Amino acid sequence: MTPEVTRTESEGIDYGWVMQVTFITSIVVGVPAVMLLSTFATLETWPERAQFAAGIGAVIWFIVAVSVYFYARHKQTED
């Protein structure tokens, strides 16, 4: 027996979409940014490299998340 699929019409911002777009955009923007910025830093050990990547990645993730949220909010008010 096939389970019944239901759809909902939610009001407000689609946070699932915001999270998915934030995840993909953070990877697409973050990886090249970390690679580029790491060429200017001396990172001799793996813990230094991991800390550097996490620090840069966190900043990029925050900027992308806030930007995507405000974009979704802006598009919602247009509709």
Is the distance from CB of 57 to CB of 79 less than 8 angstroms?
no
Residues sharing a CB contact under 8 Å with residue 61, sequence separation 6 or more, in sequence order: 22, 26, 30
Q: What are 49's two structure tokens?
A: 């490299």
Confidence (pLDDT) at 77: 83
Confidence (pLDDT) at 2: 79
Mean pLDDT of 54-75: 96
Q: For residue range 8-48, what is the model confidence (pLDDT) as tens digits?
A: 677 788 999 999 999 999 999 999 999 999 999 999 999 99
pLDDT at 5 over 90: no
Segment holding 49, helix H or strand E: helix 46-78
Q: What are 10's two structure tokens?
A: 């939610």
pTM above the 0.85 mark?
A: no
